[in-house]
Amino acid sequence: MATIRDVARRAGVSPATVSYVLNNSGPVRPETRERVLRAIAELGYHPHAGARQLKRRRSDTVGLILPTGERRLSDPFFLELIHALGDACADHQLDLLIATCRDPAADLRLIDRLYKGRRVDGFLLIDLQRQDPRIPHLRQAGIPFVAFGRVEGNGEFPWVDVDGAAGMREAVAYLVGKGHRRIAYLSPPLSFTFAYHRFRGYQQGLSEADLPLEEALVRITRLTMEGGYEATRALLSEGVPFTALIAATDLMALGAMRALHEAGRTPGQDVAVIGFDDIPMAAQAHPPLTTLRQPMDQIGKALIRTWLAAVNGESPSPTLIPPLLIRRESA
């Protein structure tokens, strides 16, 4: 495999000059640059990442840790996120290293190994818990990171999040505008930070519309289609009256719609349904699901931009991205 020396020899210059061309550092006469570039192309030369990393003390790699075990992600939303991150990384010539681990303790060990071994320059945390043990660990070890999502108490660290509260306020206002007064709400356990914020938004939305928060209309259930299905069946069988339903995630909304169908109530006609995320399946649902879109590209770009700042020793300010209400036929 060609090295920088080979290129230098071929172009009739020193390795230093090649390096200057490669990195646009140092002054190089245009025609020399030309010669060097030609040599690079002819040899199909690519700089050795390890050597470069060793000298520059940078690996240009983003670490992404996926939770495993029971917290293993199965929401298709995360696949979208990975894609968006990949694209955003490509924009900045970064690579994305994915690591999984078996238990929370291994999590922290893995973080140390990757960072101290300089395999990655910093981390992206997704799927935060309201109290996440990784955060204090990273902070006190001085490891740069950016979280997708916030945590309880909101210690000072950089994060990017979608404004779940704003989204839900908008959803409620939208439904109220259509005359709905009894709006059910389906949520996963509030220990999920995003669930907590979205639920707060629902509450705020109600109070802005001078509607009471009714316990019976709020259901906490599992973060799956099945969870949404069961909770809705419960609502129906208990005879709690409602004309609209908001689910904290599309997956749950999809489950809810199935329960409504089975009970002979057509979503979008008899009951308005709104979800959150805008996963690909949402548009294909019957009827197509009205939902709050998480603007993936924007999220990916914001995360990487913030990550770069963090890695460069800045303390980037958090970013709150507004979701987008996508009106379809379910509400």
Partner DNA sequence: CCATTGGATTGAATCGTTTCAATTCCAGGA
Partner DNA sequence: TCCTGGAATTGAAACGATTCAATCCAATGG
Q: Which is nearer to a second copy, 35 or 258 (CB)?
A: 258
Q: Which is nearer to a second copy, 101 or 240 (CB)?
A: 101
User: Binding residue for DNA (CB under 7 A) from 28, 37, 281, 326?
Assistant: 28
**Cβ contacts of 306 within 8 Å, gap of 6 or more:** 146, 158, 159, 160, 316, 319
Least distance to a second copy from the beta carbon of 221, Å?
12
Rounded to whole angstroms, the Cα distance separating 156 from 236 reads 43
* Binding of DNA by 203 (CB under 7 A): no
Q: Which is nearer to DNA, 1 or 238 (CB)?
A: 1
CA angle 83/89/94 to nearest 5° reads 140
Q: What is the DSSP letter of 247?
A: E
Alpha-helical runs (H) found in the chain: 4-11, 15-23, 30-43, 49-56, 77-91, 104-116, 134-141, 164-177, 193-208, 225-237, 250-262, 280-284, 296-311
Q: What is the DSSP letter of 322?
A: P
Least distance to DNA from the beta carbon of 110, Å?
18
Q: Which is nearer to DNA, 27 or 153 (CB)?
A: 27
3-state secondary structure of 324: strand
# binding residues, DNA (CB under 7 A): 31
Q: Which is nearer to a second copy, 1 or 30 (CB)?
A: 1
Burial (0-12, 13-18, 19+ Cβ within 10 Å), 4: buried
Q: How far is CA 124 from the centre of its chain?
A: 9
Contact mark string toward DNA, 29..58, x via CB under 7 A: x--x------------xxxx--xx-xxxx-
Which one of DNA, a second copy, none is in contact with 261 (Cβ closer than 5 to 8 A by kind)? a second copy
Chain residues in the site for a second copy (CB under 8 A): 1, 44-54, 59, 61, 66, 68, 72-74, 76, 78-80, 82-83, 86-87, 89-90, 95-102, 112-114, 116-119, 224-226, 229, 255, 258, 261-262, 280-281, 284, 286
Rounded to whole angstroms, the Cα distance separating 137 from 231 reads 37
Least distance to a second copy from the beta carbon of 77, Å?
9
User: Binding residue for DNA (CB under 7 A) from 10, 19, 160, 201?
Assistant: 19
Contact residues toward DNA (CB under 7 A) are 1, 3-5, 12-20, 22-23, 25-29, 32, 45-48, 51-52, 54-57
